Amino acid sequence: MGQIWRALKLQFKGTGTQAPFEVWVAIPNLIASPRIEHPAIRVVRMSDEALIEGLQRKRIDGVEVPIFNPARTVVDCFKFRNKIGLDVALEALRDGWRERRFTMDELGHHATRQRVANVMRPYVEAITA
């Protein structure tokens, strides 16, 4: 099974003020997309390795849900910035750093693994300066 992330992660973690209009679901590359009408979903395919990197389990409304940690969430926002908007990624970075939800080492690790370290570098430098 995939995990609910992006909009749910940002909302669940209290990061950002964006109101999600769809739930993003990460699933393995060869798994069929789930077909549900509500809530609206957007499917993103990832390798098995990418799906477990930074994964944790949280209980939401009595259901255990696999969800990425805060650093991985911010990195994914930058990875999918063209789909969700750079403003959402920047807000997640600023809020997560201000609220001490992750360390720069954690953020750097996930940014490197997800190949967005160079994209994120100027923004990270700006918020830590």
pTM score, two decimals?
Answer: 0.79
Distances in Å between the Cα of 52 and the Cα atoms of 32, 37, 104 are 19, 27, 20
- CB-count burial class (<10 Å; 0-12, 13-18, 19+) for 113: middle
Residue type, 15: T
Crossing angle of helices 70-79 and 117-128, rounded to 10°: 120
Residue span of the structural domain in which 118 resides: 3-128
Beta bridge partners of 44: 26
- Confidence band of 10 (pLDDT split at 50, 70, 90): very low
Give residue-wise pLDDT tens across range 71-84.
Answer: 999 999 999 999 88
Q: What is the pLDDT of residue 25?
A: 83
How many angstroms separate the CA atoms of 20 and 44, rounded? Answer: 16
Residue 8: how many CB atoms within 10 A of its CB?
20
- Report how many domains make up the chain: 1
How many angstroms separate the CA atoms of 72 and 69, rounded? Answer: 5
How many angstroms separate the CA atoms of 51 and 27, rounded? Answer: 7
Q: What is the pLDDT of residue 20?
A: 58
Q: What is the pLDDT of residue 98?
A: 93
Give residue-wise pLDDT tens across range 89-126.
Answer: 999 999 999 999 999 999 999 999 999 999 999 999 99
